[in-house]
Amino acid sequence: MKSKLIKLVLLPALALTALVFGGYQAWLRTPPAMPETADDVEALLTSRRYARLSNTDKRPYQERMNEMWGSLSKEDRKWLGEQLKDNPDARQEAMEQGIRTMYRTMIIQQDEAARNAMLDMIINQMESAEGRQRRQDDQARRDTPEGKKQEEEGRRRMMDWLDKGDPQTMGYGSEFFKMLQDRRKERGLPPF
Protein backbone atom coordinates (compact mmCIF):
# COMPACT_ATOMS: atom_id res chain seq x y z
CA MET A 1 0.00 0.00 0.00
CA LYS A 2 2.77 2.40 0.98
CA SER A 3 4.68 1.59 -2.19
CA LYS A 4 1.59 2.25 -4.34
CA LEU A 5 1.07 5.61 -2.60
CA ILE A 6 4.67 6.57 -3.28
CA LYS A 7 4.31 5.59 -6.92
CA LEU A 8 1.04 7.47 -7.30
CA VAL A 9 2.18 10.68 -5.58
CA LEU A 10 5.95 10.85 -5.63
CA LEU A 11 6.65 9.72 -9.19
CA PRO A 12 4.27 12.22 -10.82
CA ALA A 13 5.67 14.95 -8.57
CA LEU A 14 9.22 14.05 -9.61
CA ALA A 15 8.20 13.88 -13.25
CA LEU A 16 6.56 17.31 -13.01
CA THR A 17 9.64 18.74 -11.28
CA ALA A 18 11.89 17.29 -13.99
CA LEU A 19 9.62 18.71 -16.70
CA VAL A 20 9.59 22.19 -15.13
CA PHE A 21 13.35 22.13 -14.56
CA GLY A 22 13.98 20.91 -18.11
CA GLY A 23 11.70 23.62 -19.52
CA TYR A 24 13.54 26.26 -17.50
CA GLN A 25 16.92 24.99 -18.71
CA ALA A 26 15.70 25.00 -22.32
CA TRP A 27 14.39 28.56 -21.91
CA LEU A 28 17.67 29.63 -20.26
CA ARG A 29 19.61 28.35 -23.27
CA THR A 30 17.57 30.29 -25.82
CA PRO A 31 19.05 33.67 -26.73
CA PRO A 32 17.25 36.70 -25.29
CA ALA A 33 15.37 39.14 -27.51
CA MET A 34 17.34 41.99 -29.08
CA PRO A 35 16.82 45.21 -27.04
CA GLU A 36 14.68 47.97 -28.55
CA THR A 37 14.44 50.46 -25.64
CA ALA A 38 16.56 51.57 -22.68
CA ASP A 39 14.35 49.43 -20.43
CA ASP A 40 15.08 46.44 -22.68
CA VAL A 41 18.81 47.13 -22.31
CA GLU A 42 18.51 47.21 -18.52
CA ALA A 43 16.56 43.94 -18.54
CA LEU A 44 19.08 42.38 -20.92
CA LEU A 45 22.10 43.38 -18.83
CA THR A 46 20.61 41.78 -15.73
CA SER A 47 19.32 38.70 -17.55
CA ARG A 48 20.75 35.26 -16.73
CA ARG A 49 20.15 34.29 -20.35
CA TYR A 50 22.45 37.10 -21.48
CA ALA A 51 25.02 36.44 -18.75
CA ARG A 52 25.52 32.82 -19.86
CA LEU A 53 26.20 33.76 -23.50
CA SER A 54 29.77 33.55 -24.76
CA ASN A 55 31.57 36.78 -25.72
CA THR A 56 31.05 35.90 -29.37
CA ASP A 57 27.30 35.40 -28.86
CA LYS A 58 27.08 38.70 -26.93
CA ARG A 59 28.60 40.77 -29.76
CA PRO A 60 25.36 41.31 -31.77
CA TYR A 61 23.65 42.50 -28.58
CA GLN A 62 26.56 44.80 -27.76
CA GLU A 63 26.54 46.21 -31.29
CA ARG A 64 22.81 46.86 -31.01
CA MET A 65 23.29 48.61 -27.66
CA ASN A 66 26.08 50.68 -29.18
CA GLU A 67 23.78 51.72 -32.06
CA MET A 68 21.09 52.63 -29.54
CA TRP A 69 23.54 54.69 -27.45
CA GLY A 70 23.98 57.21 -30.27
CA SER A 71 20.23 57.73 -30.59
CA LEU A 72 19.53 58.16 -26.86
CA SER A 73 18.73 61.52 -25.31
CA LYS A 74 21.26 63.02 -22.91
CA GLU A 75 19.05 62.06 -19.96
CA ASP A 76 18.73 58.45 -21.13
CA ARG A 77 22.51 58.20 -21.63
CA LYS A 78 23.04 59.49 -18.11
CA TRP A 79 20.50 57.00 -16.74
CA LEU A 80 22.11 54.10 -18.63
CA GLY A 81 25.54 55.21 -17.44
CA GLU A 82 24.25 55.01 -13.86
CA GLN A 83 22.97 51.50 -14.54
CA LEU A 84 26.39 50.48 -15.86
CA LYS A 85 28.06 52.06 -12.85
CA ASP A 86 26.28 49.61 -10.56
CA ASN A 87 26.94 46.59 -12.81
CA PRO A 88 30.70 45.98 -13.25
CA ASP A 89 30.22 43.15 -15.76
CA ALA A 90 27.94 45.24 -17.96
CA ARG A 91 30.30 48.22 -17.64
CA GLN A 92 33.22 46.07 -18.77
CA GLU A 93 31.23 44.71 -21.71
CA ALA A 94 30.17 48.23 -22.73
CA MET A 95 33.77 49.43 -22.53
CA GLU A 96 35.01 46.49 -24.60
CA GLN A 97 32.28 47.01 -27.20
CA GLY A 98 33.16 50.71 -27.41
CA ILE A 99 36.80 49.86 -28.00
CA ARG A 100 35.92 47.28 -30.66
CA THR A 101 33.64 49.76 -32.43
CA MET A 102 36.22 52.53 -32.25
CA TYR A 103 38.89 50.23 -33.61
CA ARG A 104 36.69 48.95 -36.41
CA THR A 105 35.74 52.51 -37.35
CA MET A 106 39.22 53.99 -37.15
CA ILE A 107 41.45 51.19 -38.37
CA ILE A 108 39.55 48.80 -40.56
CA GLN A 109 36.88 50.90 -42.26
CA GLN A 110 38.86 54.06 -42.98
CA ASP A 111 41.76 55.08 -45.12
CA GLU A 112 44.79 56.77 -43.56
CA ALA A 113 43.59 60.32 -44.25
CA ALA A 114 40.21 59.70 -42.58
CA ARG A 115 41.88 57.90 -39.66
CA ASN A 116 44.30 60.81 -39.16
CA ALA A 117 41.37 63.25 -39.28
CA MET A 118 39.63 61.32 -36.48
CA LEU A 119 42.83 61.13 -34.45
CA ASP A 120 43.38 64.87 -34.98
CA MET A 121 39.84 65.57 -33.75
CA ILE A 122 40.52 63.57 -30.57
CA ILE A 123 43.90 65.27 -30.06
CA ASN A 124 42.39 68.71 -30.66
CA GLN A 125 39.79 68.03 -27.97
CA MET A 126 42.54 66.89 -25.61
CA GLU A 127 44.63 69.99 -26.32
CA SER A 128 41.77 72.52 -26.25
CA ALA A 129 41.41 74.90 -23.33
CA GLU A 130 38.44 72.83 -22.18
CA GLY A 131 40.50 69.62 -22.36
CA ARG A 132 43.37 71.16 -20.40
CA GLN A 133 40.91 72.53 -17.81
CA ARG A 134 39.32 69.08 -17.48
CA ARG A 135 42.75 67.53 -16.82
CA GLN A 136 43.53 70.22 -14.21
CA ASP A 137 40.15 69.64 -12.55
CA ASP A 138 40.74 65.89 -12.61
CA GLN A 139 44.14 66.36 -10.98
CA ALA A 140 42.68 68.63 -8.29
CA ARG A 141 39.93 66.07 -7.64
CA ARG A 142 42.53 63.27 -7.40
CA ASP A 143 44.31 65.19 -4.65
CA THR A 144 41.24 65.00 -2.35
CA PRO A 145 40.54 61.97 -0.10
CA GLU A 146 37.45 61.12 -2.20
CA GLY A 147 39.53 61.50 -5.37
CA LYS A 148 42.21 59.16 -4.05
CA LYS A 149 39.50 56.63 -3.24
CA GLN A 150 38.04 56.95 -6.76
CA GLU A 151 41.49 56.65 -8.32
CA GLU A 152 42.17 53.47 -6.34
CA GLU A 153 38.78 52.06 -7.41
CA GLY A 154 39.61 52.91 -11.02
CA ARG A 155 42.99 51.20 -10.70
CA ARG A 156 41.28 48.11 -9.23
CA ARG A 157 38.76 48.03 -12.09
CA MET A 158 41.55 48.37 -14.66
CA MET A 159 43.47 45.48 -13.10
CA ASP A 160 40.28 43.41 -13.04
CA TRP A 161 39.70 44.26 -16.70
CA LEU A 162 43.26 43.25 -17.58
CA ASP A 163 42.79 39.96 -15.72
CA LYS A 164 39.36 39.09 -17.13
CA GLY A 165 39.06 41.13 -20.32
CA ASP A 166 38.93 39.90 -23.87
CA PRO A 167 42.53 39.78 -25.24
CA GLN A 168 41.37 40.93 -28.68
CA THR A 169 39.71 44.01 -27.20
CA MET A 170 42.80 44.81 -25.14
CA GLY A 171 44.86 44.56 -28.32
CA TYR A 172 42.47 46.98 -30.03
CA GLY A 173 42.85 49.46 -27.20
CA SER A 174 46.63 49.12 -27.22
CA GLU A 175 46.73 49.70 -31.00
CA PHE A 176 44.48 52.75 -30.68
CA PHE A 177 46.67 54.38 -28.00
CA LYS A 178 49.79 53.62 -30.03
CA MET A 179 48.20 55.31 -33.07
CA LEU A 180 47.19 58.27 -30.90
CA GLN A 181 50.71 58.63 -29.49
CA ASP A 182 52.26 58.31 -32.97
CA ARG A 183 49.92 60.98 -34.35
CA ARG A 184 50.75 63.31 -31.43
CA LYS A 185 54.44 62.80 -32.17
CA GLU A 186 53.88 63.58 -35.89
CA ARG A 187 52.22 66.82 -34.83
CA GLY A 188 55.11 67.71 -32.50
CA LEU A 189 53.04 67.28 -29.32
CA PRO A 190 54.32 65.64 -26.13
CA PRO A 191 53.00 62.21 -25.11
CA PHE A 192 50.04 62.25 -22.76
Render pLDDT for 59-77 as a digit per residue (tens, 0 to 9): 787 777 777 766 667 777 6
The DSSP 8-state label assigned to residue 86 in this structure reads: T
Quick check: 52 pLDDT over 70? Answer: yes
Alpha-carbon span 178 to 155, nearest angstrom: 21
Query: Helices 55-71 and 88-103 meet at what angle, rounded to 10?
Result: 80
Closest CA to 52 of 81, 27, 85: 27
Where is pLDDT greater, at 46 or 121?
Answer: 121
* Predicted local confidence at residue 188, as pLDDT: 92
- Mean pLDDT score of the chain, rounded to an integer? 76
Q: How confident is the model at residue 14 (pLDDT cuts 50, 70, 90)?
A: low
Scored b (16 or more CB within 10 A) or e, 92-103 reads bbbbbbebbbbb
Alpha-carbon span 124 to 121, nearest angstrom: 5
Whole-model pTM: value is 0.49
* Predicted local confidence at residue 182, as pLDDT: 93
Quick check: 2 pLDDT over 90? Answer: no
